A and B are shown apart, each in its own frame.
Chain A
């Protein structure tokens, strides 16, 4: 039995958003180059050209972190999400959402997430996965509305594909 409700896959290209990270261990800077109009760009190169990326389409449904400002009292459901990850020296160093559907219902104000909102949602999850890859056991998150579990499956698929 599948519990998650089916979600409409209306993919649009999201504004390119690359996490520029500052880690204790080997710092890596990613810069993204996306072709205009292409929602499936999968090329991300680091300054040292050691980063590889993989793009997967995962059916992760999740909720925006800053919902209150947009529509109090209601969840903000997205549909199919495509994520892109950057890997350097076997470590996850970047995460980008390349496909994100607009909400497909009645419209209204703020039905599409802004870059900042996407960033605020994605970045903690990336940190979480980075901690995990450093051997810290983190299974859940307190203090913000992140549907970590739902999103993690997509990310883990991408990481597996990248051989992490």
Chain B
């Protein structure tokens, strides 16, 4: 492998429509001969995502999660992944002091879809890695896992963050590697924003969290968004890199996030503007 930038033909791309959104894969090849193996590995990862969808969907009354919600099935009779997700949801509910709470949706029914999306993308990334494709990106409808060097041969991946208030702009680009980047926003579909009393704060328009695991990044971003301004300080205390745009377009970020930032650079001036 040379250090030359990969050409487009050295990246296998695939989009899978699953869980009500689009999962996009970019898998970097070290060698053209790997193309077939990459397709096989991708197909396995997509089979996994489709299984997760069938198991956890709240849209199908016959899914395990739907039946669990109606107490038609015991947790012990569900696939072990369901119990794993339930315990992760409990854990993140505790970590976030109840700001992330999959049991607080309409009707009090258990809806783990936000966490499941990040968790399953993280697993898909792990599967690709185990198949020998360490350099890849999995984008689960706007929540991103990146692994290994970037597609251009750079040591990391550039991830652009969409501006929550200016639909035609990015607000930042950050450099990440072997991590997950999740953005929760009031205007974005996907993970619901739960508040302890059902009334999340409206201080912030979006929160982005970078963490070593996408499910964690997503839970923390969702909770910080619901917490409002104090959510940013809370992220800093937890030691994760976070970034928020408030309802007025003001920007807030932890020092760790600032250090990862590749665009706009600080000397350019105010950053929360359209390019």
A residues within 8 Å of B by Cβ?
1, 3-4, 19, 22-24, 61-63, 67-68, 72-75, 77, 119-120, 123-124, 127-128, 130-131, 136-150, 153, 156
Complex interface: chain A residues within 8 A of B161 (CB): 141-143
B100 on the A face (CB < 8 A): no
Complex interface: chain A residues within 8 A of B200 (CB): none
* A137 & B13 in contact (Cβ 8 Å cutoff): no
* A143 & B208 in contact (Cβ 8 Å cutoff): yes
* A120 & B168 in contact (Cβ 8 Å cutoff): yes
Distance from B140 Cβ to chain A, minimum over Cβ atoms (Å)? 9
Pairs A–B under 8 Å by Cβ, sample size 30? A3-B39, A19-B168, A22-B274, A67-B20, A67-B189, A68-B189, A75-B17, A119-B168, A124-B167, A124-B168, A124-B170, A130-B275, A137-B152, A137-B154, A137-B262, A140-B137, A140-B139, A140-B146, A140-B157, A141-B161, A141-B162, A141-B170, A142-B144, A143-B142, A143-B161, A148-B24, A149-B25, A149-B139, A150-B15, A150-B24
* A145 & B137 in contact (Cβ 8 Å cutoff): no
* B13 & A63 in contact (Cβ 8 Å cutoff): no
Q: How far is the CA of A38 from the CA of B162 in the complex (A)?
A: 34
> Other than the known A72-B189, A77-B17, A127-B169, what 6 A-B pairs have Cβ atoms closer than 8 Å?
A3-B39, A74-B20, A75-B22, A119-B168, A128-B160, A147-B24
| 4 A-B pairs closest in CB distance | A143-B162, A143-B183, A75-B17, A137-B158
Chain B window 142-156, contacts with chain A (Cβ cutoff 8 Å), 1 for yes, 0 for no: 111010001110100
